[in-house]
Amino acid sequence: MATLNDFSVVFLLLVLSTSVDASGCSIKGFPLVRNISELPQDDYGRKGLSHITVAGSLFHGLKEVEVWLQTFSPGTRTPIHRHSCEEVFVVLKGSGTLYLAPDMHRKYPGTPQEYSIFSNSTFSIPINDAHQIWNTNQQEDLQVLVIISRPPVKVFIYEDWSMPHTAARLKYPYYWDEECLQATSDKDEL
């Protein structure tokens, strides 16, 4: 029987093999098969976060999807945010809480629904639903594989769940896209 790790390796190889000619910010001759531990990793000013773009639009030339590997130390969380892309998470290790406010027809996100997330679980975030991922486990890191559609991502950040949608602050390019997006401006935007 295939395990999650078998699935992860096959999925990553599939995504990486669909890479086309890379954008102007990519490394020429970047190998088709790469060692994740050798890819650039940073916290982008968010203590307790480790982000690796495993396969991306700006760095690797993908057009429709992007794959991230993110690790959150105990107590670390994303900001409350939303974006105009679908997002799928696979929890590789650890546990935590997903906060999701799925009603975009209100003026503000409101009280989010809480979902426990755990190793070998998966969940998806619909387009424009405000959400937050939080490593509420004080004993171990939370590590997730994240797949987004329509990269590069435009993120709207909220100060709290009662902040109106119209007041959310746009962060574009997002932290891990800043360098490459400045190097190329030929990307179609919606």
Cβ pair 143, 112 in contact under 8 A:
no
pLDDT of residue 162: 96
pLDDT of residue 184: 52
pLDDT of residue 77: 97
User: What value does the CA radius of gyration of the chain take, rounded to a whole number of Å?
Assistant: 17
Cβ pair 72, 66 in contact under 8 A:
no
pTM of the full structure = 0.81
The residues, ordered by sequence, that sit 6+ positions from 130 with a Cβ below 8 Å of its Cβ are 80, 81, 82, 100, 101, 104, 109, 112, 158, 161, 165
- Assigned CATH topology for domain 35-183: Jelly Rolls (2.60.120)
pLDDT of residue 33: 85
How far apart are the C-alpha atoms of 150 and 174, rounded to whole Å? 13
How far apart are the C-alpha atoms of 190 and 183, rounded to whole Å? 19
pLDDT < 70 stretches in the chain: 1-30, 182-190
pLDDT of residue 116: 98
Chain-centre distance for alpha carbon 20: 21
Cβ pair 132, 80 in contact under 8 A:
yes
The residues, ordered by sequence, that sit 6+ positions from 157 with a Cβ below 8 Å of its Cβ are 79, 80, 81, 168, 169, 170, 171
Residue type, 33: V
**What are the extents of the domains in the chain?**
35-183
pLDDT of residue 3: 56
Q: For residue range 53-104, what is the model confidence (pLDDT) as tens digits?
A: 998 877 777 889 999 999 999 999 999 999 999 999 999 999 999 999 987 7
